[in-house]
Amino acid sequence: MRGWCVAMLMVGALLAGMRPEATAKSECTEPLPALYQQVAPSVVFISAVTIASIQQPGERVSTIVGSGVIVDAEGLVLTNSHVVFGRRAITVTLDNGYTTPAKLLGADPILDVAVLRIPAPDTGLTKATLGDSDTLRVGEEALAIGNPMGLEQTLTRGVISGLDRLLPEFPLNLMLPLIQTDAAINPGNSGGPLVNRCGEVVGLASALLADAKNIGFAIPINLVKEVVPQLVQQGRVIRPWLGVSGKVIGPEMRDLLRLPLVDGFLVETIEPGSPAAKAGLHEGELLIAIAGEEFLFGGDVITAANGKALDDTETFTQFIRALKVGDSVRLTLYHEGTTREVEFSLPERPILPGDVPADSRHTLAPQQHRRAPLWHRRAPPRLQR
């Protein structure tokens, strides 16, 4: 019981330290050089080693670099999962050149968030202030600080270009409402902070569109703050596993398609071994492109869950996000003119092969080097651990 109380106190203290400080945005008029000097000491350079499988062609060992941000005076560092998940020999280099090994406390490839722990030097650590991403507005000024292409502590400036952007690579039940910015984000920025004009971290740089110019994405910091306690305590984010992906078919879409469908969630793919697969749900077989959007028809349509109709995207998303491990789910299914019901309990979702893509055109590929280029070679650290 005492251990449980101590753990809860630690998480409470962690969350308290991450609550955004009240700042009047109209009062944030510091010059950019001063703002950079305020935030840059909390931004770190992350290096890790990846070892390729023997079956993979090319070099077996390569160095991965990315960015991170210190959020705790005791050495808690936030970064992207794709920078450190499955890596070896993770090291963190501070703004002043101090380099130290880092311990991976937890990572979630789905949200692309990871937490590292580094030992604090005798002189202490500079932590960033976390803001409130729910208050962001399109057009608001935004700054990104990180190590793009290995160029350390680079500042780029832009605006918040869009909010609640959904990248189509994710299945609907895992889609993340990302922040879009035109502040330049490049490989090596991964895990670095996106900050507002007050110097508060409002997102973690995470993705870009490979064929676009100045279209980058960041994970909202409020979403990050929600999962940090689980990553620190459990080493992972615990989420239920349903195992379907697809699209919601509503009245407008059904009329456009002119097909004998009912309103509900069209099951396009099913994850092998998932509860949906074990319950015998059907996935799509026929690919059809309509007005530039692709649909995989032939699978089940989930018309209701636990007796509640799923006839629009918002309702389906609310249903998915309310699920918990151990919940019992009853689905009403329509397939080829017949209706049936299935019921099953939800286990914890495992990390699946598709959660950790080797390469993605949307996710920032961490910068890779055979050896550190000249701008990575630092003088011996001046600080002692």
Token pair 């879009």 in the structure block, residue? 180
**Distance between CA 4 and CA 23 in Å, rounded?**
34
Rounded CA separation 163/133 (Å): 10
* Catalytic residue from among 72, 108, 112, 132: 112
**Residue 82 a catalytic site member:** yes
Q: Which residue in the list 82, 95, 161, 206 is annotated as catalytic?
A: 82
Distances (CA, A) of 119 to 16, 99, 125, 381, 384: 21, 10, 9, 14, 11
| Alpha carbons within 13 A on the beta-carbon side of 9 | 6
Q: From CA 71, how far away is CA 68, in angstroms rounded?
A: 10
Q: How many CA atoms lie within 13 A of 300 on its CB side?
A: 21
Q: Which residues contact 107 (CB under 8 A, 6 or more apart)?
A: 81, 84, 85, 113, 114, 115, 231, 235, 236
Q: Residue 284 belongs to what H/E stretch? A: none
Q: Which residues contact 326 (CB under 8 A, 6 or more apart)?
A: 240, 345, 346
Measured CA to CA, the distance from residue 72 to residue 80 in angstroms comes to: 17
Give the number of other CB atoms < 10 A from CB of residue 158: 17
Alpha carbons 81 and 71: distance in angstroms, whole number: 16
The continuous run of DSSP H or E covering 68 comes out as: strand 61-70
Q: Which of 190, 206, 245, 274 is catalytic?
A: 190
Distance separating alpha carbons of residues 162 and 238, to the nearest angstrom: 29
Q: Which two tokens stand for residue 201?
A: 């971290």
Q: Which residues are known catalytic residues? A: 82, 112, 190
